[in-house]
Amino acid sequence: MSRPTPSSTDRPGFSSPGGEVHDSRHRLGWFADAGTEPGWYPFRVFRGPFSYTDASGLSIAYQVVGEGDRNLVWIPGLISHLEINWELPATARFLERVASLGRTLIFDKRGSGLSDRDLGTGTLEARMDDLVAVMDAAGFNSAHLIGISEGAALGLLMAASNPDRVQSVTAVGSVLQGPLAPGHPNPDRAKVWAADFVARVLQGWGSGEVLPMFSRVDPSISKESRARFERNSATPRAVGDALAADLEVDARPILSAVHCPALIVHCLDDPIAEFKIAERCVGLMPDARVAAIDGAFHWSEYVADLDLYADAIETFITGAAPVREGTMDRMLATVVFTDLVQSTATAAALGDAAWRSVLDRHDRLAKETISQYRGEFIKSTGDGILAVFDGPGRAIEATERIREGLNALDLQIRAGVHTGEIHRRGDDISGLGVVVASRVQALAADGEIWVSSTIPGLVVGSALEFADRGTYELKGVPGEWALSAVV
C-alpha cells in the first residue's frame, strides 16, 4: 500500500546555484519491502550540484546546500554517498535539519561514495587535508563542524589544528578511543573482538547485513536498499582499511587543544561507542558539554531518533531550543526534584493549619530562588517541587540555596538532578529526563543532593564537587546509572 502524498509545501527545499529541488512527489524505492509498492518520500529533497576538488592527488566530491549567514560542515561517518544520502529518509531529514541552520557543506571522505576510492594514507591528518580542501573549494573560511561517528575525531582534530577555521565542533556518536587504543582494560579480549567484528563486516559487505550492525533498523526499509547503499558507498577493502584505523583511533591527546565551543551528542546506550568514553573525553576539553540522549542507537533509520541528535545540535549552534510544528516542544534541560524529609511525621506533629503554613513558606522560598537562578518552577508535588533549568550548574546552585533556606526553618530535603530530554505539555513537563530525575531523588539520602551520571561532565571547571554514591538500576529506565552527591 502506498503512502499518502504530502503537500509540496510541507517543508522547504534547499538549493544552490545550478541545483535542482525534488519535492515530496518524487517517488523513491527506499521504503519498498519485497512485494510492496514503493512509498512516497515524505520530505523535499535536494539533489546536486556535485563538485570535485583535488586533495593530495585525490578527487574529493562535495556539495553545498542551504542558505544563510552560518557555514556548517557535515563530516560523515564510516561511509557515505552524496546522492544516496538523500534517498535515506532519516539521513535526508537530518541533513535538511542541519541545512536549515545555514549553508551546509557535505562531502564524501576519501575511499567512500563519489570521492576517489583510494584511501591513500587514510590517516586522520590526510583526511583533515581533504576537509581543508573542500572548505577552500566551497569558499568556507570558517564553519561549525558536525562530525558523525568516526568523523567526530576528524572534526576535533581540525578544531585543534586550525582554530581560525572552526567556530564550533559537534561530535555525534563519536568514536574517540577505539578498543585497540592504549588503555583498554583487557587488550587481549579487545583484539579478539576487533578481529571478529572486522571479519563479519567484510563477509557481509554489500549484502545489506552490515548497516544494521551500526544503525537502528526500520523494518519498512528493504534489505536490498541497504545492500545498494553498502555497495555504492565503498568497497570491502576500503571499509576494512577504514575500520582498522577506527579501532586504533585515540583522539584524547589532542582534546586539550580544542578551545572552541564543543558539543558531544551521544546516546546513553550507544552500542558502538560507549557513552562513558565520550563523557570522559568532554572533561579533557576546555569548553565542552554533553547532550546525553536517552536511547540505544549509534545511527538510525528512524526520523524520530535522528531528530533527537538534530535538536541538540540546533540548540547548541543557535542558542535556542528547536520548535517543530506538529510535535510536542521537546528540549534538553536540567530537571530538579526535591522532597521534604519525614514530611508525614512533621505534618502529623504540627497539625493541618501549621503544616499548610510551612508548605506555603517552602513554596515561596523555592519559587524565589529558582527565579534568581533563571530556572522555571513547574509545580509543587505536595511536599516538594519540580523545576527545570537551562544549565546543570545553576540548577545545583539553586537547589543548594533552597536546602540552606529550609534548614533555617528546621526543614530538610533530599533532591535529584538530571540533565536529559524533556517534553513540554502546556505548563507541565514529561519525558524520560523527568523520570530519571524523579528516580534519583527517591534514592537520595536525607539532606543530600544527588545527581545522575550526565551531570559531572557538564560542569567540569566549576567549583562543584561530587562524591560517588554507587551504581543503581532506575525503575523504568534502561541501563545502570552511576549516581553522585554534591559535596
Write out pLDDT tens, residues 124-183.
888 888 999 999 999 999 999 999 999 999 999 999 989 999 999 999 999 998 888 888
Can you give the pLDDT at residue 366? 92
Q: Report, in this order, helix, strand and coil percent for the chain, each rounded to 5.
A: 35, 25, 40
> What nine digits make up the cell of 218?
526500520
Chain segment 313-372, per-residue pLDDT in tens: 999 999 876 655 444 466 778 999 999 888 777 777 778 787 788 888 888 999 999 999
Cα separation, 139 vs 14, whole angstroms: 18
Can you give the pLDDT at residue 121? 59
Can you give the pLDDT at residue 39? 31
Q: Which residue carries 538532578 as its cell?
A: 417
pLDDT at 387 over 60: yes
Q: Which residue carries 555525534 as its cell?
A: 172
pLDDT at 411 over 80: yes
> What nine digits make up the cell of 178?
577505539
Can you give the pLDDT at residue 146? 98
Can you give the pLDDT at residue 242? 87
Backbone angles phi, psi at 40, to 5 degrees: -90, 130
What residues contact 352, with CB distance under 8 A and at least 6 apart? none
Comparing 115-124, 153-162, 370-379, 388-397, which segment has the lowest mean pLDDT?
A: 115-124
Closest residue by Cα to residue 77 from 273, 217, 332: 273
Name which residue leads in pLDDT, 477 or 97.
97
> What nine digits make up the cell of 67?
542558505
Q: 403 by DSSP, 3-state: which? A: helix
pLDDT at 38 over 70: no
Contact (CB, 8 A) for 230 and 112:
no
Backbone angles phi, psi at 486, to 5 degrees: -75, 130
> Residue 14 — very low, low, confident or very high, per pLDDT cuts 50/70/90?
very low
Chain segment 259-316, per-residue pLDDT in tens: 999 999 999 999 999 999 999 999 999 999 999 998 899 999 999 999 999 999 999 9
What residues contact 76, with CB distance under 8 A and at least 6 apart? 106, 107, 108, 109, 112, 113, 148, 151
Calculate the alpha carbon distances from 87 to 99, 185, 375 in Å: 16, 41, 42
**Average pLDDT along the chain:** 84
Can you give the pLDDT at residue 15? 32
Cα separation, 262 vs 211, whole angstroms: 28
Q: Which contacts of 323-330 are long-range, i.e. CB under 8 A and separated by 24 or more positions?
A: 328/423, 328/424, 328/425, 329/423, 329/424, 330/421, 330/422, 330/423, 330/424, 330/431
> Residue 480 — very low, low, confident or very high, per pLDDT cuts 50/70/90?
confident
Can you give the pLDDT at residue 408? 86
pLDDT at 7 over 90: no
Percent of the chain with pLDDT over 90: 55
Alpha helices in 79-171 (DSSP H): 89-99, 124-138, 151-161
pLDDT at 193 over 90: no
Contact (CB, 8 A) for 19 and 48:
yes
Q: Looking at residues 71-81, what average pLDDT do you find?
A: 95
Cα separation, 435 vs 333, whole angstroms: 13
Cα separation, 458 vs 447, whole angstroms: 23
pTM of the full structure: 0.60
H/E segment holding residue 84 = none
Is the omega angle on the peptide bond into residue 12 within 30 degrees of 0, that is, cis? no
Give the burial class of 190: count Cβ atoms within 10 A of its Cβ; 0-12 exposed, 13-18 middle, 19 or more buried.
middle
Cα separation, 13 vs 371, whole angstroms: 41
DSSP E strands in 190-284: the ranges are: 215-216, 262-267
Can you give the pLDDT at residue 355? 77
Cα separation, 237 vs 242, whole angstroms: 9
Can you give the pLDDT at residue 477? 77
Can you give the pLDDT at residue 200? 93
Can you give the pLDDT at residue 255? 92
Contact (CB, 8 A) for 446 and 341:
yes
What residues contact 342, with CB distance under 8 A and at least 6 apart? 412
Can you give the pLDDT at residue 324? 52
Contact (CB, 8 A) for 198 and 243:
yes
> What nine digits make up the cell of 164?
581560525
Per-residue DSSP letter, 271:
S
Can you give the pLDDT at residue 67? 86
> Residue 1 — very low, low, confident or very high, per pLDDT cuts 50/70/90?
very low
Can you give the pLDDT at residue 423? 82
Domains along the chain?
Answer: 20-318 (3.40.50.1820), 329-486 (3.30.70.1230)
